[in-house]
């Protein structure tokens, strides 16, 4: 019997694990990127609880892809049936107690944590701390903590499935350590039968897309004097929210995001909808108002009060808006 050379055996034993490791995430940022990619490309189903403040609800989320398009269903499991359906670049809302409608979007955003659909290619403004492994939904999970560098947004703790990189748990805290939101998976499945939602969704007659009239404007009459590190403007539109009110002129709206958190800034001229310094907060969502040069500046987003206040107060008007 021929003997296998020892050097070849050593090479074979070493090369087998390396083949599996070649595409595996190695750093914390790699793991976070792998999570983002898995959420958009993998076939999976999760049953999870979402706690916001003192309220907790249960949901089922299914996702798959076909012909380069995303298909998903988010179903509320308790009380009245409420459902969101993703088909390509359209999300439809069904059973919410009002007439069904659709919106242009490539992702389901409601009733999922912000980190679930985050763009994690860059994490400016955060430190990433790796935590110990944990066991969640009977699966091994890698833990990470995203810590804001300047305390100008909320810290996030998350646990990602070590094998398929699906988010299994996330917790959002305010600066005092109070829990604002907890997302926790209780069951995860990657069965190929989930792909059957493609045919089911394709057979649905979905409501028409609501596309509100809006005008793109080239030169804004205002600008921000301060933004937290990592936040960038995404898109800006000008529209009349209430055409029947002749005294309400076109509303300028600008969306900003750091890839995880986002906020909208609305500038409404010649009207006082909210008083200066007035704010309203429910769990992680904040509405903050300032009156600047007879313009109502309203910020809506998932930001701490002091951050929202500093952003809104930094609005500077130029040209005829002064």
Q: If you write DSSP's letter for every residue of 67-86 in order, what string do you get?
A: TTEEEEEEEE-SSS--EEEE
What tokens were used for 253? 């709206």
> Where residue 19 falls among pLDDT bands split at 50, 70, 90?
very low
Q: Tell whether the model's pLDDT for residue 16 goes beyond 50.
A: no
Query: How much is the average pLDDT of 242-265?
Result: 75
What tokens were used for 289? 């108002």
Query: How much is the average pLDDT of 10-20?
Result: 40
Between these two residues, 23 and 243, which has the higher pLDDT value? 23
Question: How high does pLDDT run on average in the chain?
Answer: 85
pLDDT > 70 in the chain, percent: 82
pTM over 0.75: yes
Q: Smallest Cα–Cα separation from 79: which of 60, 57, 61? A: 57
The span from the CA of 291 to the CA of 315, in Å, is: 10
pLDDT > 90 in the chain, percent: 65
Tokens 């069951």 label which residue? 187
CA distances from 312 to 105, 225, 305 (A): 27, 9, 11
Q: Tell whether the model's pLDDT for residue 130 goes beyond 90.
A: yes
Q: Tell whether the model's pLDDT for residue 12 goes beyond 50.
A: no
Residues of 42-68 as b/e, b for ≥16 C-beta within 10 angstroms?
A: ebbbbbbebbbeeeeeebebbbbeeee
pLDDT value, residue 239 = 54
What tokens were used for 259? 């890839």
> Where residue 288 falls among pLDDT bands split at 50, 70, 90?
very high
pLDDT value, residue 322 = 46
Q: Tell whether the model's pLDDT for residue 245 goes beyond 80.
A: no
Q: Give residue-wise pLDDT tens across range 160-188.
A: 999 999 999 999 999 899 999 999 999 99
Question: Rounded to the nearest 10 degrees, how much is the dihedral formed by the CA atoms of 56, 301, 126, 42?
Answer: 60
Domain ranges (residues) in the chain: 28-203, 222-317
Three-class secondary structure of residue 319 per DSSP: helix
CB 214, CB 200: distance < 8 Å: no
DSSP 209: B
Burial of residue 114 (number of CB atoms within 10 Å: 0-12, 13-18, 19+): buried
pLDDT value, residue 148 = 93
222-317 falls under which CATH superfamily? Answer: MucB/RseB, C-terminal domain (3.30.200.100)
Q: Tell whether the model's pLDDT for residue 248 goes beyond 70.
A: no
Q: Tell whether the model's pLDDT for residue 219 goes beyond 80.
A: no
Q: Give residue-wise pLDDT tens across range 100-122.
A: 999 999 999 899 999 999 988 77
Q: Tell whether the model's pLDDT for residue 29 goes beyond 80.
A: yes
Backbone angles phi, psi at 226, to 5 degrees: -155, 135
Between these two residues, 9 and 227, which has the higher pLDDT value? 227
> Considering the domain 28-203 in this protein, what is its CATH number?
2.50.20.10
pLDDT value, residue 311 = 97
> Where residue 15 falls among pLDDT bands split at 50, 70, 90?
very low
Q: Tell whether the model's pLDDT for residue 153 goes beyond 90.
A: yes
From 50-64, 79-93, 225-239, the region with the lowest mean pLDDT: 225-239
pLDDT value, residue 246 = 40
Query: How much is the average pLDDT of 224-250?
Result: 68
From 54-63, 77-86, 120-129, the region with the lowest mean pLDDT: 120-129
Q: Tell whether the model's pLDDT for residue 238 goes beyond 60.
A: no
What tokens were used for 49? 């609880």
CA distances from 277 to 247, 272, 308 (A): 23, 12, 10
The span from the CA of 73 to the CA of 62, in Å, is: 5
Q: Tell whether the model's pLDDT for residue 222 goes beyond 80.
A: yes
Tokens 């860059």 label which residue? 122
């Amino acid at each position: 019997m021929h003997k296998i050379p020892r050097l070849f055996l050593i090479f074979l034993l070493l090369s087998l694990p390396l083949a599996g490791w070649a595409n595996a995430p190695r750093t914390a940022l790699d793991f976070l990127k792998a999570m983002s990619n898995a959420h958009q490309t993998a076939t999976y189903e999760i049953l999870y609880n979402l706690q916001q403040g003192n309220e907790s609800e249960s949901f089922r989320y299914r996702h798959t892809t076909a012909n380069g398009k995303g298909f998903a269903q988010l179903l509320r499991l308790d009380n009245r049936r409420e459902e969101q359906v993703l088909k390509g670049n359209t999300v439809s809302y069904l059973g919410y107690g009002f007439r069904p409608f659709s919106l242009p979007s490539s992702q389901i955003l409601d009733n999922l944590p912000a980190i679930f659909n985050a763009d994690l290619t860059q994490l400016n403004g955060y430190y990433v701390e790796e935590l110990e492994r944990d066991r969640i939904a009977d699966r091994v999970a890698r833990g990470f903590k995203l810590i804001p560098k300047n305390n100008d947004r909320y810290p996030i703790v998350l646990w990602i499935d070590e094998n398929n990189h699906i988010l299994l748990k996330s917790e959002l805290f305010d600066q005092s350590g109070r829990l604002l939101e907890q997302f926790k998976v209780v069951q995860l499945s990657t069965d190929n039968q989930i792909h059957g939602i493609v045919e089911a969704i394709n057979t649905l007659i979905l409501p028409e897309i609501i596309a509100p009239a809006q005008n793109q404007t080239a030169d804004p009459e205002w600008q921000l004097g301060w933004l937290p590190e990592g936040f960038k403007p995404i898109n800006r539109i000008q529209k009349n929210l209430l055409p029947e009110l002749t005294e309400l002129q076109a509303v300028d709206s600008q969306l900003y995001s750091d890839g995880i958190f986002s906020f909208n800034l609305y500038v409404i001229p010649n009207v006082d909808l909210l008083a200066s310094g007035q704010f309203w907060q429910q769990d992680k969502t904040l509405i903050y108002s300032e009156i600047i040069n007879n313009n109502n500046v309203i910020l809506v987003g998932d930001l701490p009060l002091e951050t929202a206040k500093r952003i809104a107060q930094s609005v500077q008007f130029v040209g005829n808006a002064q």
